[in-house]
Amino acid sequence: MRVEICIYHAHGEKESSRKVDFIAEAQEKMLEVKLAVRILHDSKQLSLKKYALLCEQMVGIEKNLEDWKKYHLNNIKQ
């Protein structure tokens, strides 16, 4: 939920430097999500198949956040 809130704020922000701040915060929150998913898997609350699917999805989200951040960093430099 916190990742989504950061993305929502970044999307609504007009200034690229502020967008980058929100995106970086979302990236930090993704670490918490990854840790929670790992704990669920390790405690046998999440099957290997579901864990693998969630990992794929998390990698995709992290890649999108990184690309979005790079785009706005380039806007700041110009």
pLDDT for 78 beyond 80: no
The model scores a pTM over 0.75: yes
How far is residue 6's CA from residue 20's CA, in Å, rounded to a whole number? 10
Model confidence over 13-24: pLDDT tens digits? 999 899 999 999
- Rounded average pLDDT over 54-69: 97
Q: Is 10 exposed, middle or buried (0-12, 13-18, 19+ CB in 10 A)?
A: buried
Model confidence over 24-51: pLDDT tens digits? 999 999 999 999 999 999 999 999 999 9
